[in-house]
């Protein structure tokens, strides 16, 4: 009896959630701001600066969506979410979208009922070791002690990698990246493993970065992307095509500097369609015709966003690698705006 009541309540709550999620755009517009779930701090991806404004690669995407919806990149409430709270925050409607470098996996997409709308960063798990160990390949790590963040996909990848190569390791479980840095520097573990972007960011903060090497092996695919709730396809389309607009803008040579000029009309019909001078793409999304123009003007195109936050000019110094345009040998490939 009690169980059926509980199940009934859950079902009603689920129904209500499903019903409510069908109008995320209306809710966001009525509220006047976008609730965007971000990390509780990850170098280069999301962190507040000294005056309290959020900055970073993931943050840029939230701002782009806000600019596309409202024409105002500051109309965002950033909701810091931890690894444990992120999915509930999204499922319960506390946030409208997550841009929280979350790996797109089958079970998260299907079982947890979320909708990954694209990939904004192709990452992969790597290893960092002190140079003095003289290790040149991850295959030489048999018997090593490994610092590993608990509760992440990296933990599972590590176990897979070592067992499939017939090697053994001793895990040193740690909770946060900051703790990992300290443990690794103090010599509590020989190897630190996490996403390659995280390794680069961590290494950049060391006193002597050249004393540590990131091994060439990348042992997993970590496609990081923004996600929204299952079942509200209109809202999912807005986030998906905002991301695509930033990627397409780089391919088409649109930057935050020249977007206003190009928006007055060009010879290239695809640019015209994207920036709303031709066609009705904005109207199909339920937004104004200059949605993409606003998004690009606010944060720049994908390449600018990358360079400003995690690119080679920043202390993190990530190269584009897989995250280059398909024309440059990378994996970024936006469907056409037509």
Q: How far apart are CA 307 and CA 319, in angstroms?
A: 9
For residue 89, state whether it binds another protein (rule: CB under 8 A): yes
Q: Which is nearer to another protein, 15 or 139 (CB)?
A: 15
Torsion angle of the four alpha carbons 188, 190, 196, 198, in this order, in degrees rounded to the nearest 10: 20
Q: For residues 143-162, which are near another protein according to CB under 8 A?
A: none
> CB 327 → another protein: shortest distance, Å?
29
For residue 65, state whether it binds another protein (rule: CB under 8 A): no
Q: How far apart are CA 130 and CA 206, in angstroms?
A: 11
Q: Which is nearer to another protein, 41 or 321 (CB)?
A: 41
Q: Among 27, 72, 109, 237, indicate the residue that binds another protein (CB under 8 A).
A: 27
Stretch that binds another protein, among 44-52, 60-68, 136-144, 267-275 (CB under 8 A): 44-52
For residue 22, state whether it binds another protein (rule: CB under 8 A): no
Phi first, then psi, for residue 89 (nearest 5°) are -60, -40
> CB 221 → another protein: shortest distance, Å?
24
Q: Which is nearer to another protein, 179 or 237 (CB)?
A: 179
For residue 319, state whether it binds another protein (rule: CB under 8 A): no
Q: Among 145, 288, 289, 314, indicate the residue that binds another protein (CB under 8 A).
A: 314
211 within 8 A of 185, measured Cβ to Cβ: no
319 within 8 A of 200, measured Cβ to Cβ: no
Q: Which is nearer to another protein, 85 or 266 (CB)?
A: 85
323 within 8 A of 121, measured Cβ to Cβ: yes
Please tell me whether residue 112 adopts helix, strand or coil conformation.
coil
CA-derived radius of gyration, the chain = 21
For residue 20, state whether it binds another protein (rule: CB under 8 A): yes
98 within 8 A of 227, measured Cβ to Cβ: yes
Q: Among 152, 176, 255, 266, indicate the residue that binds another protein (CB under 8 A).
A: 176
Q: How far apart are CA 40 and CA 43, in angstroms?
A: 10
Stretch that binds another protein, among 88-96, 156-164, 241-249, 323-331 (CB under 8 A): 88-96
Please tell me whether residue 219 adopts helix, strand or coil conformation.
coil
Q: Which is nearer to another protein, 145 or 314 (CB)?
A: 314
Which of 290-327 are b and which e, b meaning 16 or more Cβ less than 10 Å from the residue's Cβ? bbbbbbbbbbbbbbbbbebbbbeebebebebebbbbee
Q: Among 173, 315, 329, 335, indicate the residue that binds another protein (CB under 8 A).
A: 315
> CB 64 → another protein: shortest distance, Å?
20
> CB 323 → another protein: shortest distance, Å?
18
Angle at 210 between CA 182 and CA 214, to 5 degrees: 75
For residue 277, state whether it binds another protein (rule: CB under 8 A): no
Helix axis angle for 57-70 and 24-31, nearest 10°, is 90
> CB 93 → another protein: shortest distance, Å?
5
Name the site residues for another protein (rule: CB under 8 A): 9-10, 13, 16-17, 19-21, 27, 39-44, 46-52, 55, 77, 79-82, 84-85, 88-89, 91-94, 176, 178, 181-182, 201-202, 204-207, 314-316
């Amino acid at each position: 009896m009690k169980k059926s009541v509980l199940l009934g309540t859950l079902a009603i709550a689920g129904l209500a959630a499903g019903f409510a999620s069908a109008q995320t755009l209306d809710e966001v517009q009525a509220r006047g701001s976008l609730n965007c779930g971000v990390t509780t701090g990850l170098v280069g991806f999301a962190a507040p600066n000294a005056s309290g404004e959020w900055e970073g690669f993931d943050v840029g995407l939230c701002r782009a969506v806000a600019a596309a919806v409202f024409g105002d990149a500051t109309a965002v409430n950033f909701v810091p979410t931890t690894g444990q709270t992120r999915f509930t925050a999204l499922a319960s409607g506390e946030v409208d979208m997550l841009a929280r470098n979350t790996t797109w996996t089958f079970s998260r997409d299907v079982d947890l009922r979320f909708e990954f709308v694209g990939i904004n960063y192709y990452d992969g798990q790597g290893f960092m070791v002190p140079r003095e160990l003289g290790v040149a390949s991850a295959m030489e790590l048999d018997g090593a002690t490994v610092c590993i963040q608990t509760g992440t996909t990296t933990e599972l990848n590590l176990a897979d990698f070592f067992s499939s190569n017939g090697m053994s390791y001793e895990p040193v479980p740690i909770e946060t990246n900051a703790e990992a840095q300290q443990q690794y520097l103090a010599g509590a573990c020989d190897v630190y493993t996490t996403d390659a972007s995280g390794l680069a960011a961590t290494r950049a903060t060391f006193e002597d970065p050249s004393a540590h090497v990131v091994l060439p092996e990348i042992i997993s695919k970590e496609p990081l992307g923004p996600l929204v709730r299952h079942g509200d396809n209109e809202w999912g389309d807005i986030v998906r095509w905002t991301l695509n607009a930033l990627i397409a803008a780089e391919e088409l040579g649109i930057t935050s500097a020249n977007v206003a000029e190009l928006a007055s009309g060009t010879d290239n019909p695809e640019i015209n369609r994207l920036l709303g001078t031709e066609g009705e793409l904005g109207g199909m999304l339920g937004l104004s015709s200059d949605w993409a123009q606003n998004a690009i003007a606010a944060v720049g195109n994908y390449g600018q966003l990358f360079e400003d936050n995690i690119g080679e000019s920043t202390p993190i110094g990530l190269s584009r690698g897989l995250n280059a345009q398909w024309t440059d040998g990378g994996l970024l490939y936006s469907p056409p705006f037509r």
